[in-house]
């Protein structure tokens, strides 16, 4: 150690194996200049700072002030703490608080995890890293891009404070803030969340995501678009199961499948859908269910669609409407092929009402009933089994002339353009024909008669509960950017249609 005159000051020059201690931290270097008046120390060569918590900082030069306890290490700086290593051009370090920070791009490696950012800080006592500006976190499983990120090395927890993009091999999540546990691969994301997963899109306000089983629980303005099975679903909450290839939506749930004239629409308190062809049930709707396709629509409390025979099962006061025809029963089975209704069974207590004019209704009732439909989805035939009764009207041109009241064991009724064309009775048929003016009011309606057309689902019944805005990726890769550009015109057209509906 020597005392030297330098710039009008007397400084101490230290050389070879220089070291000093401050609040438990040790500083080492090859040589140093120390100004006792200002308590400034400048060290050069093999600079190394260690602290009792195990963190170590190395570099080429050191600027340290003993009064402020702040050290700045420059030149190929490395900070090591356990399995975590930070490299950066320079870093400032507080020897008492043990907090270090950098501002000229840093690179952090923790086993197979790597992170880069323009600026950042590290607090070893809290095991907390904070990063800002062009933050990229890369692991073998995923990549995170954001503007602001906090990472706990002990909890393996990444917390986000700005719009963030999380990329897996086959899926991408975009959100405004949230956190992610890197070891358990679970996270909670908030603020205009979007999950893009192999032809499926999930939008919501909040998403609880589990990467291991590829599932997510979504809350607030939920929207699911499955382009593979042509589903669009809206609701307040959803459970998305990627491994099971299924989703559930509840609270104000509305769904569309298909497009154009073949569009199938459904709503209910809860909707379940499974796209796994090995599963027998494809769709299930529960409580306050309404559905519509082409000219047919209906309501019930529970709807179940079985994939094996393309059959829908309805229970809980089911009602089906076909233009001006109302069909009901304790339960129903509807067979659909190529998105068209082919047949419909109602049992027991089956009943059909057909509006002839504002005052008169043709009616059919029995223990069970089978209906068949044309390609145009109009009623073609009705078969009634056991305890069949009917009230049907005969016309002269467009004028009702008479009413025929018939009961028998079974009936077979054929329709043309939604009107009765012919009817056959089997098993002790009994009937009476009244001129329309002489039809007794008591006989004009069968005991089960109901015609509540005000409850028939309309287009307004299936209006989605909220509008949809699919966000663009904030940090797209070249492949993602090309995919976005290819979809842009089609997406714009789709959003316009959704808005109209």
Q: Is residue 360 part of a domain?
A: no
pLDDT at 204: 94
490 confidence band (pLDDT: 50, 70, 90): very low
pLDDT at 497: 41
- The two structure tokens encoding residue 434: 């009244």
The pLDDT of residue 496 is above 50 = no
Q: Is residue 461 part of a domain?
A: no
The pLDDT of residue 492 is above 50 = no
pLDDT at 489: 44
Distances (CA, A) of 373 to 295, 303, 337: 11, 20, 11
Q: Is residue 217 part of a domain?
A: no
Q: Is residue 193 part of a domain?
A: no
pLDDT at 486: 63
Instruction: Identify the H or E element spanning 481.
Output: helix 478-500
Q: For the segment 71-92, what is each residue's pLDDT rounded down to a tens digit? A: 899 999 998 888 889 899 999 9
pLDDT at 328: 92
Q: Which residues pair with 266 in a beta bridge?
A: 255, 291
Q: Is residue 45 part of a domain?
A: yes
**Residue 74, domain extent:** 1-102
Q: For the segment 364-399, what is each residue's pLDDT rounded down to a tens digit? A: 999 999 988 888 777 788 899 999 999 988 888 778
Closest CA to 187 of 153, 154, 144: 144
Q: Is residue 375 part of a domain?
A: no
Instruction: Pick 91 or 421 by higher pLDDT.
Output: 91
Q: Rounded CA gap, 443 and 439, in Å?
A: 7
CATH (domain of 15)? 2.60.450.10
Q: Is residue 366 part of a domain?
A: no
* Across 190-195, average pLDDT: 90
When computed from its CA atoms, the radius of gyration of the chain, rounded to whole angstroms, is 37
The pLDDT of residue 409 is above 90 = yes
pLDDT at 55: 80
Closest CA to 229 of 177, 277, 164: 277
pLDDT at 46: 93
The pLDDT of residue 410 is above 80 = yes
Q: For the chain, report the end-to-end CA distance as a whole number of angstroms.
A: 84
Q: For the segment 142-180, what is each residue's pLDDT rounded down to a tens digit? A: 899 999 999 888 888 889 999 999 898 888 889 999 998
Q: Rounded CA gap, 236 and 153, in Å?
A: 35
294 confidence band (pLDDT: 50, 70, 90): confident
* CA dihedral over 397, 398, 399, 402, signed as positive or negative: positive
274 confidence band (pLDDT: 50, 70, 90): confident
Q: Rounded CA gap, 378 and 419, in Å?
A: 10
How much of the chain, in percent, has pLDDT values that exceed 70? 96
Q: For the segment 102-134, what is each residue's pLDDT rounded down to a tens digit? A: 988 999 898 888 889 999 998 878 888 899 999
- The two structure tokens encoding residue 140: 């073998």
* Across 479-489, average pLDDT: 66
Q: For the segment 206-230, what is each residue's pLDDT rounded down to a tens digit? A: 999 888 888 889 999 999 998 887 8
pLDDT at 20: 84
The pLDDT of residue 499 is above 50 = no
The rounded mean pLDDT for the chain is 86
498 confidence band (pLDDT: 50, 70, 90): very low
Domain count of the fold of the chain: 1
Distances (CA, A) of 406 to 64, 382, 489: 107, 15, 60
Q: Is residue 57 part of a domain?
A: yes
Range with the poorest average pLDDT among 18-22, 327-331, 361-365:
18-22
pLDDT at 208: 92
CB 99 within 8 A of CB 123: yes
Strand duo 164-167 + 157-160: pairing: unpaired
């Amino acid at each position: 150690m020597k005392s030297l005159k330098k710039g009008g000051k007397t400084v101490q020059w230290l050389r070879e194996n220089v070291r000093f201690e401050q609040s438990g931290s040790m500083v080492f270097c090859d040589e140093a200049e120390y100004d006792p008046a200002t308590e400034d120390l400048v060290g050069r060569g093999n600079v190394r700072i260690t602290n009792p918590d195990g963190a170590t900082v190395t570099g080429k030069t050191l600027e340290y002030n003993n009064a402020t306890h702040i050290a700045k290490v420059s030149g190929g700086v490395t900070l090591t703490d356990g399995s975590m290593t930070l490299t950066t051009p320079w870093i400032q370090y507080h020897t008492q608080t043990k907090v270090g920070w950098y501002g000229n791009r840093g690179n952090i490696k923790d086993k197979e995890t790597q992170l880069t950012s323009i600026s950042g800080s590290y607090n070893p006592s809290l095991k907390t890293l904070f990063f800002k500006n062009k933050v990229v976190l890369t692991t073998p499983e995923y990549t995170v891009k954001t503007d602001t990120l906090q990472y706990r090395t002990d909890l393996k927890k990444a917390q986000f404070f700005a719009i963030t993009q999380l990329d897996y091999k086959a899926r991408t999540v975009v959100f405004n803030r949230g956190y992610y546990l890197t070891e358990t691969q679970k996270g909670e994301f908030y603020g205009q969340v979007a999950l893009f997963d192999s032809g499926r899109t999930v939008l919501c306000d909040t998403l609880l995501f589990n990467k291991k089983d590829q599932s997510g629980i979504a809350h607030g303005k939920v929207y699911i678009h499955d382009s593979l099975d042509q589903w669009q679903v809206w609701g307040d909450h959803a459970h998305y199961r990627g491994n099971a290839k299924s989703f559930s939506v509840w609270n104000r749930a509305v769904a569309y499948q298909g497009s154009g004239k073949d569009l199938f629409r459904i709503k209910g308190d809860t909707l379940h859908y499974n796209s796994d062809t090995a599963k027998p049930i494809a769709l299930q709707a529960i409580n306050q269910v309404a559905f519509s396709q082409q000219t047919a629509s209906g309501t019930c409390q529970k709807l179940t669609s079985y994939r094996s025979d393309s059959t829908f099962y309805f229970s809980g006061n089911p009602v089906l409407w076909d233009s001006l025809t109302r069909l009901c029963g304790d339960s129903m089975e509807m067979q659909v092929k190529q998105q068209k209704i082919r047949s419909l069974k109602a049992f027991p207590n089956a009943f059909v009402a057909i509006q002839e004019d504002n005052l008169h209704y043709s009616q059919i009732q029995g223990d069970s009933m089978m209906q068949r439909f044309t390609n145009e989805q109009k009623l073609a035939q009705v078969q009634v089994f056991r305890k069949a009764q009917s009230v049907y009207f005969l016309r002269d041109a467009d004028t009702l002339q008479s009413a025929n009241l018939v009961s028998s064991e079974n009936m077979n009724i054929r329709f043309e353009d939604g009107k009765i064309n012919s009817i056959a009775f089997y098993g002790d048929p009994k009937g009476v024909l009244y001129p329309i003016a002489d039809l007794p009011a008591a006989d004009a309606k069968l005991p089960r008669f109901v015609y509540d057309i005000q409850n028939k689902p309309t287009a307004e019944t299936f209006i989605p509960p909220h509008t949809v805005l699919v966000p663009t990726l904030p940090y797209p890769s070249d492949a993602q950017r090309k995919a976005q550009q290819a979809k842009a015109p089609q997406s714009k057209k789709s959003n316009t249609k959704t808005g109209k509906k």
